[in-house]
Amino acid sequence: MTTVRHAMTYFESSARRYRYVFRGSMFASFLNPILFLSAMGLGLGQLVDQQAGEAVIDTFSYVTYLAPGLMATTAMSTGASDSSWPVVAGLKWLKTYHGVLATPLTVGGLVLGHVAFVFTRVLFVSLVYGLVAVAFGALELPRALLAILPAGLTGLAFGAAVMGFSSYLDRDVGLANLFRFGITPMFLFSGAFFPITQLPEFIQPLAIATPLWHGVELTRAAGLGVSTSWHPVLHVLVLAAFTVIGLSVARRKMTMRLIS
């Protein structure tokens, strides 16, 4: 219970700091889906629809097929970004985490509070994305609202996992490599833009091994009412595993760096 109470305290502190950048964050949250759905959904999507007919994939137009996938990838990007540079800054560059631990808060409370705030941020961004998708006619409102939770679980998994990774770093080179060789390939090849069955067979297992594929599957199933490749519970368990492992690694490593 002490850890949960400390996590709530750190969550409140993060929310208070976030107030100063809320307006800019709101603007970016609306601009991102507008640009992506305009360029990829309506621009490229019209060309795809013209070539393949009105029903491109699973009887859906391309912009409709694309919208839940982009919601999941945006959740991934938000979770990863909020748990990468800010975490390294707190540990090494600005040492704000040292100041946090000068209070009664514990490392466990700090880690849990940070990830809880990231999860809340992802849910908000996913809500905005869903509303924009509804405005574009890509999703129906009830389905867009249903897709928020699986997108949030995707962002949670990445937020926790990237925090665990970032807890080992002192420089931003590792973060640049993470996004260059990890986040970007997952963004492109985890089923957001096309089914992974279109990939070469030897690459498909790599896509399945990524948490983003599981998040895309769940978000698309909720947003479009289609079935998932695996049982939904298995997809949730994979995301939960990344979350739990990430939290455990982050807590252990940050305890070593901040206290030991």
pLDDT one-digit tens code per residue, 203-249: 999 999 999 999 999 999 999 999 999 999 999 999 999 999 999 99
| pLDDT value, residue 54 | 52
Domain of residue 104: give its range: 2-258
Of residues 190 and 42, the one with the higher pLDDT is: 190
- Total domain count, the chain: 1
| pLDDT value, residue 32 | 85
d(CA 120, CA 85): 18
Model confidence at 175: pLDDT above 90: yes
| pLDDT value, residue 163 | 98
- Longest Cα–Cα distance in the chain: 62
d(CA 173, CA 164): 16
Please state, for a pLDDT cut of 70, what percent of the chain lies above it. Answer: 94
d(CA 127, CA 82): 17
| pLDDT value, residue 38 | 82
Model confidence at 53: pLDDT above 70: no
Model confidence at 148: pLDDT above 90: yes
Cβ neighbours, 10 Å, residue 257: 16
Tell me the pTM.
0.93
Residue owning tokens 């759905």: 37
Assign 43 a pLDDT band (cuts: 50, 70, 90). Answer: confident
Which residues have CB under 8 Å from 163's CB, separation 6+?
Answer: 83, 87, 111, 114, 115, 246, 247, 250
Model confidence at 91: pLDDT above 80: yes
